[in-house]
Amino acid sequence: MRVIGIDPGLRNLGWGVIESQGSRLTHIANGLCKSAGTDLGVRLLSLHEQLTDVFHRFSPEAAAVEQTFVNRDGAGTLKLGQARGIAMLVPAQAGLEIGEYAPNAVKKAIVGVGHAEKHQIAHMIGIHFPGVKLAGPDAADALAIAITHAHHLQSGSRLSAAIARAS
């Protein structure tokens, strides 16, 4: 199954695509969608067009998006939420259900600590996928989201199989 992870951001929206076959994960691609323009509407349209192109190029079958981390800057959180809306819209337009994960849950799944730093996530992504060139920290975060979702889907399918056998 091909899984895309999306790390929403208004300036840089990170994305990472992996292939999950059983417990084996393979890196397919990663990158950044960089917003263009100064007008918020134009920037959001730019992110939408770029992410839509990523979906057309890599045809993911599952998608996951990081939940918004609310901080003291209300205006910044609102703008991030609008970028997250684009990150949710594009997979929905492709007909995919979208997994949502809190930042701490992703960090704990990848690094083992819920308050890991970005460089620690990038390091662990390098261990999962040796030799892969990351487009940046946001792309590393997106790959971490994809890995978290792949593990979640795998656990869910095992649970469903166990319940089916028990019935």
Which positions are catalytic? 7, 66, 138
For β-strands 24-34 and 12-21, DSSP reports them as: antiparallel
DSSP 26-44: EEEEEEEEE--SSSHHHHH
**How far is CA 131 from each of CA 55, 68, 84, 128, rounded to the nearest angstrom?**
24, 30, 30, 10
- C-alpha 107/C-alpha 109 separation (Å) is 5
Q: Which residues contact 50 (CB under 8 A, 6 or more apart)?
A: 13, 33, 34
- β-strand partners of 5: 16, 64
Residue type present at position 87: A
